[in-house]
Amino acid sequence: MRVPFCFVLYSATTGLRRELCRVGGPEA
């Protein structure tokens, strides 16, 4: 199963929004 899952990280100190997307697969 190669399902791309994205998780968003919020910084409480600076208020920066970080979006990290990763693809779960053999090529990852």
Residue 25's φ and ψ, nearest 5 degrees, are -170, 180
At residue 24, the pLDDT reads 63
pTM summary value: 0.35
Q: Which tens digit of pLDDT belongs to each residue from 1-28?
A: 566 677 778 888 888 887 777 766 565 4
pLDDT score recorded for residue 3: 66
3-class DSSP state for residue 1? coil
